[in-house]
Amino acid sequence: MNRSIVCPLAIAMIAVAIVIPGALLLEAQEPRPPVFTTEQAEAGRVAYAKHCASCHMPDLSGDNERPPLVGTSFMTTWGGRSTKEFLAYMSGAMPYGAPALDAETYAALTAYILRSNGASAGSQPLSASTDVSVGSVTGNPQAP
């Protein structure tokens, strides 16, 4: 091959080999958007112990009949869906066979479950209108 072709081609290949891994590293280090407060997550922990732990287990691991609210199985189900969808589902279906909770408690429970899956707290509280991917805030975008 001609040197005038080989040299620029080699330089281009080296540049690609350096740039792509660097871009992936920067993407991996991008901060996750905080969507709840520490106070909300703590209130959710208390509400979880009172309203949810008897079915979903104190450590959120679930059992043979009730799904886990933490870990791979939870992220496979909810990682690609939004916080708004999760909160709406929980508000409409839980606690099973018991009276509904108030909107603030559902938001706090959602914050606690997100924190339990790796999300970080911020300065803005989570609400029913918060609409971001569960995976984007937990740093684990696992989806089916």
Quick one: which of 91, 56, 88, 92 has its CA closest to 74?
A: 56
Tell me: the pLDDT tens digits for 44-103?
999 999 999 999 999 999 998 999 999 999 999 999 999 999 999 999 999 998 889 999
The sign one gets for the Cα dihedral 113, 119, 125, 129 is negative
Across 12-20, average pLDDT: 52
Q: Where are the domains of the chain?
A: 1-30, 38-138
Q: Rounded CA gap, 94 and 53, in Å?
A: 12
DSSP state of 76: H
Q: By three-state DSSP, how is residue 10 classified?
A: helix
Average model confidence (pLDDT) across the chain: 84
Quick one: which of 78, 84, 82 has its CA closest to 117?
A: 78
Across 128-141, average pLDDT: 90
Q: Quick check: 33 pLDDT over 70?
A: yes
Q: Quick check: 16 pLDDT over 60?
A: no
CATH 1.10.760.10 for the 38-138 domain, yes or no = yes
The pTM assigned to this predicted structure is 0.77
